Structure 1
């Protein structure tokens, strides 16, 4: 088992990968049994060859998408501490020992390289990326009641327990959002660590599509909120349906009936009845799913205890 495993997912990063690998190796040169793994994701340039020459262990993932690459990494690599860093040379590799120290000595489960509290908004040249990062950060911290400073950063450190219990479901760039929510809902120890961010060098192109990938991230937040906070989600839906039912029933059905003794709007009464029934079903669905979710969290705690024994 490695002491520190540095994981670099790559797709067409030939302009920067050599420097990134060399910087990573230099940063852990004093830490025994530390390795750099580059996982090539169908690059059409010579990313893999350059990474291998620079000293990295090169492996391949043929399913396209960052989430697919990270799934492969987490399955194949065993280490006490994992560092995930992008191959575009936007993150400072010299911070790796400090981030790893939080995992190995302070027993955090995930250390987040926080760009947004430092130089991101001055270095980043893509305006909508900054807006999207703020929106995603606000959404997760509001719905999941946490204080993560940078949700979509690709610079993170993980414990063995996190990596071997985290089920990677996302296929693309929404993977960082999924990681953050997984850590929050399972009450894992999270550390925000401020880093300096530098924009991509000339000729290096971002693979993130601001709008399509941003939409997928927001859809994922909605889905995970429904899955992990079912009582809140279905309780709110139940309340909305009941308010609509009552708001329509009283002026359109109840008041005319009290005045005339006749139900003048039978279709409206039927619709209000269906809304009320749907509200009740939604409420009890939330209760049932919440009980299932609580049971899953209990089982997760047992899985955490088994991971360290297995490895």
Structure 2
């Protein structure tokens, strides 16, 4: 088992990967650096090996798929994940690692948004998207994560071995964040500097396509982790619409004794029934979620015992 494993997922990063690996090795000489190449068509793999990294391959395209394999294959007391595009200086790497090894943090988030991100990043829609996701997730899950989508994070062994990777793409960071918040894991924020990609290096993130995938992932996880709130909100909306439609019908009935819009009355009835169904679905699923939380704590205990045995 490694004490510190540095995980670098890569796809066509030949302009930066060698520098990133060298920077990591000089900053954390005791760490083992793993570069996972995700079907690069340039010299990324060759340059990573030249720099002294352990090279592994993930042939299923997508950052989430790469991280799934990383977490499955590598055992370490602390994992530091960083992108291979040289956008994160390594100045704070030791602080992130220290919070896992010495302060029992389950996940440490490298917070770009509180430092230079908005001045360095030249893609305005990315700035808007990061702010929107941070506000939405912190509001929905009642937390205070400073940077939801950062690729600069540190993890404990317990986090890595109990995190079920569902995402295949760039929405993986959102999934990690919500997972940690849902299970009340210890999350720390460390402000890190951010610099834009060097000239000639291109982002693989598609602003609109990946942005939609991130929003879908957030809503899906909100439904899965907070079903009573999700389905309760649907129930409330259905009942409110039914009331808006029903009140004029009731007024006419009280005035004339007639129900001239009988089909609308039937629609109101069905909407109320649908609202009740939604509410009961939320209540049933909430019980399932409560059981899952208990099972998760049991799994964490097993993983913790496994860690002690391997150390």
Corresponding position: 1:310 with 2:306: yes
Cα distance in 1 for residues equivalent to 2:260 and 2:116: 65
Q: 1:161 touches 1:307 (CA, 8 Å); kept in 2?
A: yes
In the alignment, which residue of structure 1 is the partner of 2:12? 12
Give the deviation of 1:88 after TM superposition. Answer: 0.5
In the alignment, which residue of structure 2 is the partner of 1:22? 22
Partner of residue 296 from structure 2, selected from 286, 292, 300: 300
In the alignment, which residue of structure 2 is the partner of 1:276? 272
Cα distance in 1 for residues equivalent to 2:103 and 2:125: 36
Give the deviation of 1:126 after TM superposition. Answer: 1.1
Give the deviation of 1:259 after TM superposition. Answer: 2.4
Partner of residue 115 from structure 2, selected from 93, 97, 118: 118
Cα distance in 2 for residues equivalent to 1:70 and 1:108: 20
Partner of residue 175 from structure 2, selected from 175, 178, 192: 178
* Residues 43-67 of structure 1 deviation map (CA, whole Å, 9 limit, x = unaligned): 0001001001100000000000000
In the alignment, which residue of structure 2 is the partner of 1:264? 260
Cα distance in 1 for residues equivalent to 2:70 and 2:290: 29
Cα distance in 1 for residues equivalent to 2:257 and 2:146: 60
Cα distance in 1 for residues equivalent to 2:108 and 2:15: 27
* Residues 96-116 of structure 1 deviation map (CA, whole Å, 9 limit, x = unaligned): 221110000000000000001
Give the deviation of 1:264 after TM superposition. Answer: 2.1
Q: CA RMSD in A?
A: 0.9
TM-score (norm 1): 0.97
Corresponding position: 1:40 with 2:17: no
* Residues 14-73 of structure 1 deviation map (CA, whole Å, 9 limit, x = unaligned): 0000010011111112x3xx2000000000001001001100000000000000000000
Cα distance in 2 for residues equivalent to 1:270 and 1:125: 54
Give the deviation of 1:92 after TM superposition. Answer: 1.4
List alignment gaps of at least 5 residues for structure 2. Answer: none
Where does 1:12-161 land on structure 2 (aligned, <5 Å)? Answer: 12-29=12-29, 31=30, 34-161=31-158
Cα distance in 1 for residues equivalent to 2:28 and 2:246: 69
Cα distance in 2 for residues equivalent to 1:141 and 1:147: 6
Cα distance in 1 for residues equivalent to 2:8 and 2:148: 18
The number of aligned residues is 307
Cα distance in 1 for residues equivalent to 2:102 and 2:189: 16
Partner of residue 231 from structure 2, selected from 234, 257, 266: 234
Cα distance in 1 for residues equivalent to 2:196 and 2:263: 61
In the alignment, which residue of structure 2 is the partner of 1:285? 281
Q: 1:4 touches 1:82 (CA, 8 Å); kept in 2?
A: yes
Q: 89-98 or 56-65: which moved more?
A: 89-98
Cα distance in 2 for residues equivalent to 1:25 and 1:260: 84
List alignment gaps of at least 5 residues for structure 1. Answer: none
TM-score (norm 2): 0.97
Task: Look up the SS of the partner of 1:297 in the other structure.
Answer: helix
Task: Look up the SS of the partner of 2:70 in the other structure.
Answer: helix
Cα distance in 2 for residues equivalent to 1:256 and 1:52: 80
